[in-house]
Amino acid sequence: MKIAIAQLNYHIGNFEGNVSKMLEAIRWAEAQEADLICFSELATCGYPPRDFLEFDDFITQCEAAIDRLKEASNQIAVVVGSPSRNPVVEGKDLYNSVYFLYENEIKFVQHKTLLPTYDVFDEYRYFEPATEWGTYEFKGVRFSLTVCEDIWNVGNDNPLYTICPLDEMQKDSPACILNVSASPFNYDHAESRIHVCKANIARYNIPMFYVNHVGAQTELIFDGGSLVMSPNGDIFEELPYFEESMKVFDLEKVQNATQSVEQPKDKILEIHDAIVLGIKDYFGKLGFTKAVVGLSGGIDSAVTTALAARALGPENVRVLLMPSQFSSDHSVNDAVALCENFGVHYDIIAIKDVYDAFMDKLSPVFGDLPFNVTEENIQARTRGTLLMAISNKFGNILLNTSNKSEAAVGYGTLYGDMAGGLSVIGDVYKTDVFELARFINKDGELIPVNSITKPPSAELRPNQKDSDSLPEYDILDKILFHYIEEQQGPKEIIAMGYDDVLVKRILRLVNINEFKRHQTAPVLRVSSKAFGMGRRMPIVGKYLS
Amino acid sequence: MKIAIAQLNYHIGNFEGNVSKMLEAIRWAEAQEADLICFSELATCGYPPRDFLEFDDFITQCEAAIDRLKEASNQIAVVVGSPSRNPVVEGKDLYNSVYFLYENEIKFVQHKTLLPTYDVFDEYRYFEPATEWGTYEFKGVRFSLTVCEDIWNVGNDNPLYTICPLDEMQKDSPACILNVSASPFNYDHAESRIHVCKANIARYNIPMFYVNHVGAQTELIFDGGSLVMSPNGDIFEELPYFEESMKVFDLEKVQNATQSVEQPKDKILEIHDAIVLGIKDYFGKLGFTKAVVGLSGGIDSAVTTALAARALGPENVRVLLMPSQFSSDHSVNDAVALCENFGVHYDIIAIKDVYDAFMDKLSPVFGDLPFNVTEENIQARTRGTLLMAISNKFGNILLNTSNKSEAAVGYGTLYGDMAGGLSVIGDVYKTDVFELARFINKDGELIPVNSITKPPSAELRPNQKDSDSLPEYDILDKILFHYIEEQQGPKEIIAMGYDDVLVKRILRLVNINEFKRHQTAPVLRVSSKAFGMGRRMPIVGKYLS
């Protein structure tokens, strides 16, 4: 038997686009004489459809998509994920299902059992879990059909769950596992995915075809990396990361494989490629082509501009340099050099006159109150307004340049440098931004070395440096990592040897700045815990604040 | 037996504050010779604690709070909601539990069965549902202890759920139901709550004490309205809305009651009082006292200022009038009259000079491109920056003045009039904003009648009116209500008789403006479906857009 897997880039709610793409893949697989083609989880509607699932019309369109795929299944079996209605009144209205289509019929449907409801996932908000499990025999091979998380509780060793769906299916002695997935990227995820696939194979000793999404849906980036596993636990094939891919496999060869292939994994390379895809799809799926970035001469805006130029093409990126009286000369020079290296258009607008106009109007109200963060914020908001003016006039989406370290401690101005339609490096700690810059420069100096080596500064008052008010980034980022990614409390972090006062101050800063992060752009997620939909914190909460 | 109920205003994560408040209530109840005092759901930590629940240290503090309450339970039984740890490895780490404390011991714990995971609720993200049900006998009375949603599936008639916890407890023949709740307000909720309590009494024919939270936690407002139900289905007592309240009841009197009391319900009055409490608690719980509002002379900012003055006191509200060349004279006059009527401080800053400074800097970049939405947005962002300058310099939180109709269709400028720390009327449709204004004026003209009667306009270009680009609000708001609150799709709404083209245009506007709402302040929730945490929509989605 020949099995095709299709790792495709879907678009949420774009039924026409998604179905056309799958129909084309079916024709391709037929031409390759495949007996079966397997797509991904909720491929008809894209993942995550979120509250669109609560609209009856949306589900009707999912059903219509299945009908169209069914019409194409005369010669070839089609395995595809889509929502299905729960016919029973009790319980949630929907199941998250995988369909087996063949001979223009729905031959078999298996519902998802394990519904991730943590971090960025809300599946129990919409779906009822399966309580019945079956298998389906096709051309002499009995298949277990599973949906994503269903294979993540191998032998019930995942403390989140109480059921192992594949154990339930063993009564039928299946010969092959198909898994339709929508498993979002983080820089540790490819390894976890391989680990869990191997654990399944070790338990069941049959081949597995694991088919993931690729592409970004706002903040969530899907890296692909679909897997074909041989029954001996070797990786027969791992599809590429961050691109669409289709391939046909001879089941007998997978059964009797001696090969084991695996792509190299590199954290910074993966983050780089993930963000480039994240930018590309955010623009493409919204129907935009052009970006604008505010370039300061510092490393964050330099890396953001570089990633944008790679995602959209340098001709689609324009930058604005907006020096103030506090900007150093080398900042402007570094910014200009970067634009020339990447070939992106730049304009320079000095902000002093606008800033002075603001201060002139405010001075009767402010009286002789001293210069403080207010005036710093006016500079940042003047820049934000100029950038949004470019965005509005020319149709360029403003890219936000905040990094995860400063977003964490609230080191940024709402409606100023925190403005933008998409946060590009908001899930990348400052220490990793430096790594990204070095990675971008690996074949030559594209980002001026001075932007990388000079001490970080917001340049909002004379001789300001980040380290005036924050600890060095290598300490700060470690404390933040323990608190945010590892969810350690103050006692645990202090017990690791960090300074008591510093830890409490940092954790307090993270908590009291929740109100700022609430109002920021979606953040391209590259870690296991990003700010945004996967981290839900009270604003008025008093804990650790 | 004498039973006290305490409808209190908790603060998320403020263990010291919450426990002190409960200890004081216990002393008060003891002085009233109560045998038992009943608090609310998750009263130790406040509701909703959200991802704080994922921190081990946070749960340890919840347990310490239970210990302190236990120490106070020597003479009086204390019934209180708090998280508890799931001792079994499989399943979620926590239960949402109600404790029965007496004689300095934990006498009984019942876990919550029905975990709301829809709209603003994420309980299955954190909690494992109960699978065992018991009751507890105290001084000869056998109690069923339930947590909030547990009573919302009476006889299994709620399609969301498959279990009815009180049915499971009937084997013990309980004589009284206690329910600890955290059930957030919307303007239909008091009626639903009474309806569901009556349905429970009709099924079980025993008295019930239902104890709700009161107070606001960022966007969620809890209205109290705790209930004591007699076994004949009459309301023996309904505690007040929007204020703390404690009362002691003689169980025998409740058993044999002939009285039936119920507060009058009025949508606009309830919205008014809810918002006033929402503002008050947002400031109080964050440790702020003062607000700033941008006042245009229009109805939205007038109503927002009025509500802020009532919540914080007029001495704590300052407003900024920021006329442009497009502002009509009467707008400034109306705004000044409002300030004088309410006694709030105002400053006037004309924005023309700052606007001109922006345009002067941008003109080399813009060339001779025509005036469009860009220049409108620059006006709005100049105002946003001035308001944030006042906020930063004087420590006043900026209140956002957008209404639900304009937030829905994206009729507002990000970082401009969409700025602010809290959206006051962002869950109130424009037609209800008019009702609120009339309600505020019921005893005399506080909001100038001209602000209410003139055609709504953003005044960002000459002779602009909202109705130039939007349908009349009475049509718009109805279409929005069907789509947002009732989750009807385009086909259903058009079938009601609305214009086909108009419906599709409005729904498209709602969907393509998701990116704007993503970046706005938390919205005080007064309806059954507010923008924010309870409505989770994809940004790059293509559905109806």
DSSP states of A285-338: HHT---EEEEE-SSHHHHHHHHHHHHHH-GGGEEEEE---TTS-HHHHHHHHHH
User: Which chain B residues are within 8 Å of A377, Cβ to Cβ?
Assistant: 388-389, 392
Q: In chain B, which residues have pLDDT < 50?
A: none
Three-state secondary-structure class, residue B227: strand
* Range(s) within chain A of domains with CATH label 3.60.110.10: 2-259
User: Which chain A residues are within 8 Å of B544, Cβ to Cβ?
Assistant: 13
The residue count of chain A comes to 545
Closest-CA residue of chain B to A423: B519
Instruction: Write down the catalytic residue from A21, A70, A112, A404.
Output: A112
Fold assignment, B2-264: Nitrilase/N-carbamoyl-D-aminoacid amidohydrolase (3.60.110)
Distance to chain B for A45, nearest Cα, Å? 9
Alpha carbon A506 to its chain centroid, in Å, reads 26
The residue count of chain B comes to 545
pTM: 0.97
Contact B377 A388 (CB under 8 A): yes
Distance to chain A for B424, nearest Cα, Å? 15
> Rounded to a whole number, what is the distance in angstroms from the first to the last CA of chain A?
61
Alpha carbon B124 to its chain centroid, in Å, reads 21
List pLDDT tens digits, range B348-404. Answer: 999 999 999 999 999 999 999 999 999 999 999 999 999 999 999 999 999 999 999
Distance to chain A for B259, nearest Cα, Å? 37
Residues B82/B66, Cβ–Cβ less than 8 Å: yes
- Structure-block tokens of residue A497: 């040897």
Contact B57 A492 (CB under 8 A): yes
Q: Alpha helix locations (H) across B210-312?
A: 251-255, 267-286, 299-312
Contact B365 A390 (CB under 8 A): yes
The whole-angstrom separation of Cα B224 and Cα B214 is 4
User: Which chain A residues are within 8 Å of B58, Cβ to Cβ?
Assistant: 489, 543
User: Which chain B residues are within 8 Å of A122, Cβ to Cβ?
Assistant: 117, 122, 125, 536
Burial of A145 (0-12, 13-18, 19+ CB in 10 A): buried
Provide the CATH number for the domain formed by B271-465 in this structure: 3.40.50.620
> Is ipTM > 0.85 here?
yes
Q: Please tell me the number of Cα atoms within 13 Å of A414 on its side-chain side.
A: 30
Contact B11 A49 (CB under 8 A): no
* Range(s) within chain B of domains with CATH label 3.60.110.10: 2-264
Q: Are strands B245-250 and B235-238 parallel, antiparallel or unpaired?
A: unpaired
User: Which chain B residues are within 8 Å of A57, Cβ to Cβ?
Assistant: 489-492
Q: Alpha helix locations (H) across B7-126?
A: 15-31, 56-71
Compare CB distances from B218 to A90, A372, A540 and report the shortest one's residue.
Answer: A540
Beta strands in A310-452 (DSSP E): 317-321, 345-348, 397-400, 422-423
Contact B358 A52 (CB under 8 A): no
Q: Which site among B50, B54, B319, B393 would you substitute to test the A interface, given the most A Cβ atoms closer than 10 Å to its Cβ?
A: B393
Contact A533 B536 (CB under 8 A): yes
User: How many contacts does A have with B, using Cβ atoms within 8 A?
Assistant: 271
CB atoms closer than 10 angstroms to residue B322: 26
Distance to chain A for B62, nearest Cα, Å? 11
Compare CB distances from B374 to A389, A415, A491 and report the shortest one's residue.
Answer: A389
- CB-based contacts of B327: which residues, under 8 Å, 6+ apart? B296, B297, B459
* Range(s) within chain A of domains with CATH label 3.40.50.620: 270-470+511-518
- CB-based contacts of B88: which residues, under 8 Å, 6+ apart? none
Compare CB distances from A117 to B90, B117, B374 and report the shortest one's residue.
Answer: B117
Provide the CATH number for the domain formed by A270-470+511-518 in this structure: 3.40.50.620
Instruction: Write down the catalytic residue from B21, B38, B70, B112.
Output: B112
Buried b (16+ CB within 10 A) or exposed e, A505-525: ebbebbbbbbbbbbbbbbbbb
Three-state secondary-structure class, residue B509: helix
Distance to chain A for B306, nearest Cα, Å? 23
Contact A538 B52 (CB under 8 A): yes
Q: Is B62 among the catalytic positions? A: no
Q: In chain A, which residues have pLDDT < 70?
A: none
* Degrees, nearest 5: CA angle A120-A124-A127: 120
Compare CB distances from B536 to A122, A286, A372 and report the shortest one's residue.
Answer: A122
What pLDDT does B67 receive?
98
Instruction: Write down the catalytic residue from B45, B148, B176, B197.
Output: B148
Distance to chain A for B270, nearest Cα, Å? 23
Compare CB distances from B56 to A93, A354, A489 and report the shortest one's residue.
Answer: A489
Provide the CATH number for the domain formed by A2-259 in this structure: 3.60.110.10
Contact B12 A543 (CB under 8 A): yes
Closest-CA residue of chain B to A60: B489
- Structure-block tokens of residue A253: 């060869």
Closest-CA residue of chain A to B361: A349
What pLDDT does B60 receive?
97
User: Which chain B residues are within 8 Å of A372, Cβ to Cβ?
Assistant: 392-393
User: Which chain A residues are within 8 Å of B218, Cβ to Cβ?
Assistant: 538-540
Closest-CA residue of chain A to B59: A489
Q: Identify any residues that bridge with A177 across adjacent strands, giving them in sequence order.
A: A144, A208
Compare CB distances from A537 to B50, B487, B538 and report the shortest one's residue.
Answer: B50
Distance to chain B for A55, nearest Cα, Å? 6
Instruction: Write down the catalytic residue from B41, B123, B149, B459.
Output: B41
